[in-house]
Structure 1
Amino acid sequence: MTTREKNDYRVTRKAGPFVAGVRNPGTGKTLQLTEEGARYGVIAGELVPSDKWDEKLHGSAEDTEGDAPAAESGTETPKPAKGGRSKG
């Protein structure tokens, strides 16, 4: 039987926008998850148990400042191609 006790896991710089089913709070930030809930993230290198955290290996909170991709000046968002059925 698995325990439902939650433990602290820290998010690594490898994590995408979502980790363990929740929005990524940022590199080095802590999530409280069950062992079962964190399993995939740990295997993928997106989460590390807090007691095994190493900023040199996993990143630090400073790594994520300004994480949102900056829009390049002079570029437009491409519009989807028209297609499908014609009205008529």
Structure 2
Amino acid sequence: MADLKSRFEQAVADSKKLPERPDNATLLKIYALYKQATEGDVEGKRPGFTDMVGRAKWDAWNEQKGKSAEAAMQEYVDLIESLK
């Protein structure tokens, strides 16, 4: 787990200096996997229609519901590696 956590932290740092900005769908997946890995399942109510960005983020995070922190970390690391 310690090794995965350090690779995850390195991937988080790497995500800030990717060669090009990923498309919105990929950015949402990165966000959702990060939130799932660090905070667990999404809580609270889904944002309303007026908050389009918040709603998209909530939906993306909600799709990861039930995934363990370790699985989310591994997917995050793999996704960032594929974008380098």
Given the two structures, how large is their TM-score scaled by the length of structure 1? 0.29
Higher RCO structure, 1 or 2 (CA under 8 Å, sep 6+) = 2
Given the two structures, how large is their TM-score scaled by the length of structure 2? 0.30
More strand by share: 1
More helix by share: 2
Quick check: which has more Rg, 1 or 2?
1
